[in-house]
Amino acid sequence: MVFLVAALAVRGDQTGSAVATPPFDGVAWCQSANAISTWRSVLDGSAEGDSIDDVANLRTELDRARSTAPVELRTEVARLYDLILLTMQASQRLDGDLEAAIVDAAGNTDQPRVQTALRLVDEAVVACGHRSLVG
């Protein structure tokens, strides 16, 4: 009898139903898109006037955007997040040389996929009424 009670307690509420994802919040996504567009020069590779602090801020916003983005865009946002994470790591190795870090990070990613991700995220950012990420 004790075994049966323990088994039921461990089992909990495992009804086999999938966990529901929260509904898409377009306002939250567009706020994230606005923040991402602030650091567009890091994403387009030019790093005009940006510092490693800007890269860190972009990383934070991309992390936030992964949960607010439309479901079909989350993998693309994650690809950009990975690129920025690699940029930060390269910057540490390269004594803070951001331009060299961007080149180094790009060399360690699947650029066709990153470029596709950038294009798709850019389209979603522009659809929210914000500046394009690519020029």
pLDDT tens-digit series, residues 117-132: 999 999 999 999 999 9
What pTM does this model have?
Answer: 0.80
Please name the residue that has the structure tokens 């865009």: 73
Give CA–CA dist 107/8, Å, rounded.
Answer: 52
Least confident range of 21-30, 57-66, 92-101, 112-121: 21-30
Q: How many CB atoms lie within 10 A of CB 56?
A: 15
Maximum mean pLDDT: which of 19-23, 52-56, 83-87, 131-135? 83-87
The CA distances from residue 103 to 51, 94, 99, in Å, are 15, 11, 7
| Percent of the chain whose predicted confidence (pLDDT) is above 70 | 84
Give CA–CA dist 15/99, Å, rounded.
Answer: 52
Q: How many CB atoms lie within 10 A of CB 15?
A: 6
